Chain A
């Protein structure tokens, strides 16, 4: 771990993108096994600038522009990780991540298991995901549920600068493969203080962002912001919402979810991804079995629709809104 002397200043106002950049920088300073690569990440610093300055600081040997081949990028990472390097690879957008699936499912996620612990696979794949920035076709999807179904692959999604920093440091330290999905709508949204010397955050715990007794609002990624806004709106009417950021989809912190549902008895799950087979279904199923006796209303899911992510002209109609979340919460209260 890095020390206070190494990174003075420790609490800095950073947006989420800058927090990612600092996490990469300090992880590379602290451990020379960390290497960073992907498309346009070296000289250009990444299309979003997440890796800006790293090539200048560490050189081409540890910060590499790859040929344009996502399957290759994932395979390189598996090979390096199998021999003890800590590769942090960027996939430029989640819409182009699918070529990595075979490497992730058939290799990264099972290497330790199939060698009975002989070879590990401590890689991190980072990818910006989600809508709301008026990006071109294929640049806005949220397909996290596909990856959360892969045993052995951790799926981590930050929703603030501090969690982006702490979770990425933890992901890089982690001996297991991690898919780190960055809500790009939040990249430059706001600068908030980030403790650069804090301990890494846990990779198997939900974060309770706000405590409340009346209804549980459960979400992750960029939708946390609509969810918090909905909690504010409900508070105006004296309704106290508990807000949970799931943050790590796999492994899932079922205990925190069951506890909040058992406390409030009313649950609204919010995600940007389509409804059917979305990760909200897994959470709803968990609560339906493990918190059944405490539930006072049917579990609500506020999600994207079961269609391909629309091109940006219709994004507002697709994305869950504060209004939809508030309405769902009221339905649980009026049930």
Chain B
């Protein structure tokens, strides 16, 4: 059982306890490898002109997977834009994730029969999702839903007023909110030490009077422990938690970025030694819960799932140009009818 020690870096790997929930970790490992396969494919699609600018989640697989696994269906998820793993686990099909990054809003119309149906879509304006997450947490609290809200953001986001305003109100109103910061050390080209002089990002909880925890973001079992604890605390009305998940952005910021302009190859190389997928695989293999044969089979399955998703994505019919007006208001105002009529004359939109 996880016991909270504010600000101390919490880790489980490599030494896993005997009473570890092995099936849960194996399934977590499978999700992480699937999302890594997906991520690689998405980058390739962008390189070949079949996807727009894409934010890779390379190095964030454990954080995203832990979030998706720890959430209950009646909780809420408020993402930033590197949360493909969580979105997938909430029920967003991979082809819809591609559709979003392919410049098509239909990617945000998550299926109504999944937990994702209530979740907010990706959030590009940094940190602006956080006050919204506080609003959703307020709704959950007022309705006595016993549900938690999980919101994510990056380390750069913790410099914005939105971040502080959110933690502050979460403290005052005892909101059922968990904010996970994916501290991948970089905000595009700006390193942590130019972002904050705080001892850690978790310490930023102190001023808001909420609990601040630090966890190894490359350590799935540790992340699951911390998230289980914080989400459960939220569901039981015991207040909000800030979790700093210490990771490393193994990719460029997005496909439009070239990290070699500002980041040393040696630093990246060192970070690869701690990457979350291989670390968990090693622990599972050491404990006899995974092996080369299963690995081979599962990677083939992943490839197949991803290829099928790409196929579905590439074969979506174009949107009707009138879609850009038809969903703006609940009902099209009369004043927009001439513009709609003009759009109706145009051909449909394309991928990327």
Contact = CB atoms under 8 A, between A and B. Distances in A.
Interface residues of B, number: 42
A95 to B, nearest CB: 18
Nearest to A177: B329
Given A80-B136, A102-B125, A251-B333, A115 B109 contact: yes
B138 interface: yes
A119 B166 CA distance: 22
Interface stretch (B35-43, B127-135, B230-238, B247-255): B127-135
B142 A72 contact: no
A152 B105 CA distance: 16
Interface in B90-140: 105-106, 108-110, 112, 117-118, 120-121, 125, 128, 130-139
A48 to B, nearest CB: 24
Which of A87, A204, A254 has the most B CB atoms < 10 Å from its CB?
Answer: A204
A291 interface: no
Interface string A62-88: 101011010110111111111101010
Contact of B109 (A69, A118, A255): A118
B323 interface: yes
B132 A107 contact: yes
Interface in A22-74: 35, 61-62, 64, 66-67, 69, 71-72, 74
Contacts, number: 136
A151 interface: yes
Nearest to A151: B328
B138 A80 contact: yes
B108 A79 contact: no
A75 B134 CA distance: 8
Interface core residue of A74, A77, A119, A120 (most chain B CB under 10 Å) = A119
Most chain B CB within 10 A, of A61, A64, A110, A117, is at A117
Contact of B135 (A76, A115, A116, A152): A76
B192 interface: no
Given A76-B134, A79-B136, A80-B139, A107 B128 contact: yes
Nearest to A117: B327
A255 B334 contact: yes
B273 interface: no
A119 B120 contact: yes
Nearest to B124: A106
Interface of A: 35, 61-62, 64, 66-67, 69, 71-72, 74-83, 85, 87, 102-103, 106-107, 110, 112-120, 151-152, 154, 174-176, 204, 251-255
Interface of B: 76, 78, 105-106, 108-110, 112, 117-118, 120-121, 125, 128, 130-139, 142, 161-162, 165-166, 168-169, 172, 323-324, 327-330, 333-336
